[in-house]
Structure formats: C-alpha cells, structure tokens
Structure 1
C-alpha cells in the first residue's frame, strides 16, 4: 500500500456518529483526507494485512464482537491468520472504530480525539 506523506487515510463507516466526529478531527490534521467507506469499498485481505501491521494489532482486535453478524458468522470458530484476513475483507463493516493512517503511522480511533495522536 503506497501512502502519500501528506495524506491521511481514514477507514470508517459513515453511518456511525463516532466516525463522523473522528473525521472532523482528521480534517484538522491535514486538508488531504482520503476517506475509505468500509461499507461501500472493497478492502482486500492484503490491504488489511498491511493495515494490521501498521496498527500492531490482530484482526480480532478490530472487530465489534457485539454485532449480530459477528455472533452469527464468526464467534465460536477457530480461525487462522488467513481466515481472519478474509473475515475483515468480507465483513469490513464490523470494525469497531475508524482507522486512521497518517505519515506511516496508524491508529484505531476508539474515541474521536485518538486521531490527534498521529500529529
């Protein structure tokens, strides 16, 4: 994944209130915000792998475990690393918080102000 140094990549679900608030903070960091809507845009397993490495997290750490789809399709099964990447690729909307990538650093924004840690 090639990243432009002055561009902030913002992976989010536009229907979530926290995501909207976090996006406002993102625009205070840089005028170049590349919004990636995880509901509409297909993010590949390879892209998720690169994002996870930047975050230093496991795929399971990104998931909203309370979501009914997580409970129905994912919970209680034993998944290997490739399986988790495929889950992220197919159920991207299950991420629990927006992800911001800026200047080769990434953060899972559990609160809107978390994004400011990238500055």
Structure 2
C-alpha cells in the first residue's frame, strides 16, 4: 500500500500520483489540505522521512513569509504549526511501509517503489 499526501492543484503532486497509479499497487490518496495530518501523524511521517520538521516546510508560501520566517521554534512547535497550517507542508509526500519520500523531484519516489 502506498499513501500520497496530495494537493491536486500541484502539477508535481499530480505527476507523482500518476506514477504511483501506474505501479499497480493500491494507492491511498490523502488530500492533506482537506484532511490535514494530526501532530502525531506528522511525527510518524517525519520519522519515516528521516527529516526534521523545518526540512519539510514550504518556505516560499506567503503564510510562512508573513508569520514564521526568521522565527525559532522547537520541533514540536513546528509540527503543531504544520498541523494547523497544512499549506506549509512540502508536497507530495509518499509513504510505503516504514519509508517515505518527498516527491520533488519525482525521481525520489523511485527509491521506495
């Protein structure tokens, strides 16, 4: 089972979903802007990515620039910020078992297929 944290408005996310659907494996699509992951779910995803919360923040987002840029937060605070503001979460994220990757570039996804 593959899970993609997907934003249908993002071309990279759509490309990644197409790639996953071509594998023949079952794909669970989570539209994370509509169904944001909880803080606990984010902790699990980050552990599978082997990344810190700050490494999956979309720093180009207007919200980030206006409210969070240049400020220091703990990992738990960043996780809570992402849970409350899912637009800040990098996309797409693909999870398979105990591993996950950010699908930018799309070649990253090949590593877990």
Picking from 59, 63, 71, the partner of 2:57 is 63
Contact 2:54 2:75 in 1 (8 A): no
Q: CA RMSD in A?
A: 1.2
Q: What stretches of structure 1 of length at least 5 have no aligned partner?
A: 1-6
Q: Is the 8 A contact 2:57 2:90 kept in 1?
A: yes
1:108 to 99, 102, 106: 102
Superposed counterparts of 1:1-119, under 5 Å: 7-119=1-113
Relative to the length of structure 2, the TM-score reads 0.92
Aligned mates of 2:75, 2:94 — CA distance in 1 = 22
Uncovered stretches (5+) of structure 2, i.e. residues with no partner = none
Aligned residues: 113
Q: Is the contact made by 1:22 and 1:113 (CA closer than 8 Å) also made in structure 2?
A: no
